[in-house]
Amino acid sequence: MLKAIFNNWQAKLGSILLAILFYVNLQNSKILVKEINIPIEYPKLGGSLAVSKSSDKTFPVKVEGVREYVNYYSQFLKAHVSASDLKPGENSVSLYRISGAPAGLRITKLKDKVKVIVESNSGKFLPIDVKFTGDLPPNYVKTGPFVSPSVIHVSGPPGVLEDLGRISFPPISLKDKTESFTIKHKLPDFPASVKVRENVKEITIRVNIFASASNAGETLLLGIPIKCQSLDKNLEAEFSEPEVSVKLQSKTPLKSIQVIKGLSASVVCSHKYDSKTKKILPDNKPVFAKIKLTKAPALKAVDILGVFPDRISILYKVKPDKDKSGGEEGDNGEEENTIEPDSNPELLEEE
């Protein structure tokens, strides 16, 4: 039997060696090595800090393993950095870990550090842009638009906020409109890193429409400036609408100058400035205030049919040039006008 085994042993040994060689080549053909860039997933930072979009977005690695594993799992690999290594400004940090790799893959880092820029979130006011199209029917006029809120306060990384500007909506058609109306629009989608303060989700646009020559004795007065009562001398009050429109009726003829001098609109400005904490009390958030319309004795017989808008939003700010010893209130709560009155309000009257 041994004789049969060793018979022509050179050929048999060559066949075994050739089979081993083919097996090794086959196994080697299943191993794949490739270099790829995997995305970096940054942690959420506390407070007002955020990772800038100018930070490194990918990280280079070498992946080794069975071909099927490499091709399949490469798409799930992610690089991570630790939040504890990040500080405001530019950071050069090592990877904390690489996720998404099974035990059968060998991952080699092709770079030592990651550039991470950490920014402090800032705020920005975005104004609302309202446009109209078409014309009202003859003898009709509009007041407004009255937009609530008139601005949107957002916060986020400075680099992202730079790209944000006025918020625009489709033009509002005035064609064939003979009655007042209200339109609501949802806010546009902002980048994920931008937050809208006060949890505002939509904008309300009010347009008041009146017949300029409807019933005898009716008058529409446009452009009455709003005054601020009892405003702290260290503060400024920013109104969502600087003026109001008033619809009134009188049984007797009125002169334009009589109405202009006899009507005034105001709101109570109750916030105060604390010189010790250097803060606005109770807070610096916008507040709503009801419009108070005052008539002079000469207009006693005049009936007020409507005030538009009937309330506004007030945003308080500290005066840049406030008295350094500040914090004191206005003398005896005297009325301070934050808007210069229009010396020539527009008066629409019956002829």
Could you say which DSSP state residue 264 is in? E
Contact 264, 243 (CB under 8 A): no
Q: Where are the domains of the chain?
A: 11-119, 121-213, 214-321
Query: pLDDT digits over 183-224, tens only?
Result: 999 999 998 878 887 788 899 888 877 665 444 467 777 778
Residue type, 299: L
Q: Estimate to the nearest angstrom the gap between the alpha carbon of 124 and the chain centroid.
A: 7
Q: Which residue has the higher pLDDT, 129 or 249?
A: 129
pLDDT-based confidence at residue 75 (cuts at 50, 70, 90): very high
Residue 328 pLDDT more than 50?
no
- CB hemisphere CA count around 181 (13 angstroms): 10
pLDDT mean over 232-253: 83
Residue 27 pLDDT more than 70?
no
The span from the CA of 302 to the CA of 250, in Å, is: 5
Query: pLDDT digits over 153-191, tens only?
Result: 888 877 788 888 899 999 999 999 988 888 999 999 998
Helix (H) or strand (E) holding 215: none
Instruction: Determine how many CB atoms are found less than 10 A away from the CB of residue 69.
Output: 19
The span from the CA of 277 to the CA of 255, in Å, is: 51
Residue 82 pLDDT more than 60?
yes
pLDDT-based confidence at residue 24 (cuts at 50, 70, 90): low
Predicted pLDDT at 60: 96
Contact 151, 128 (CB under 8 A): yes
Predicted pLDDT at 180: 82
Query: pLDDT digits over 259-271, tens only?
Result: 667 888 999 999 9
Helix (H) or strand (E) holding 243: strand 243-249
Which of 79-83, 156-160, 177-181, 279-283 has the largest mean confidence? 79-83
Q: What CATH class does 11-119 carry? A: mainly beta
b/e code 303-314 from CB counts within 10 Å (16+ = b): eeeebbbebbbb
Instruction: Give the range among 26-30, 154-158, 278-282, 290-294 with minimum mean pLDDT.
Output: 26-30
Predicted pLDDT at 268: 93
Q: Which residue has the higher pLDDT, 110 or 214?
A: 110
Distances (CA, A) of 85 to 46, 58, 78, 99, 288: 13, 18, 18, 18, 44
The span from the CA of 151 to the CA of 129, in Å, is: 9
Predicted pLDDT at 331: 38
Q: Which residue has the higher pLDDT, 75 or 350?
A: 75
- Helix (DSSP H) and strand (DSSP E) numbers for the chain: 5, 28
Residue 10 pLDDT more than 50?
yes
The span from the CA of 338 to the CA of 242, in Å, is: 9
Q: Which two tokens stand for residue 340?
A: 């210069």
The span from the CA of 238 to the CA of 317, in Å, is: 8
Residues sharing a CB contact under 8 Å with residue 250, sequence separation 6 or more, in sequence order: 217, 219, 299, 301, 302, 303
Q: Which residue has the higher pLDDT, 127 or 253?
A: 127
Instruction: Give the range among 138-152, 165-179, 272-286, 306-320 with minimum mean pLDDT.
Output: 138-152
How many Å is the Cα radius of gyration of the chain? 36
The span from the CA of 310 to the CA of 304, in Å, is: 12
Instruction: Give the range among 10-19, 74-83, 143-152, 322-331 with minimum mean pLDDT.
Output: 322-331
Question: Which fold is adopted by the domain 121-213?
Answer: RNA Polymerase Alpha Subunit; Chain A, domain 2 (2.170.120)
Q: Which two tokens stand for residue 140?
A: 């009709």
Which CATH entry fits the domain spanning 214-321: 2.60.120.380, 2.170.120.30, 2.60.40.10, 2.60.40.1180? Answer: 2.170.120.30
Residue 322 pLDDT more than 60?
no
Find the distance separating the first CA and the last CA of the chain, reported in whole Å: 134
pLDDT-based confidence at residue 332 (cuts at 50, 70, 90): very low
Contact 244, 253 (CB under 8 A): no
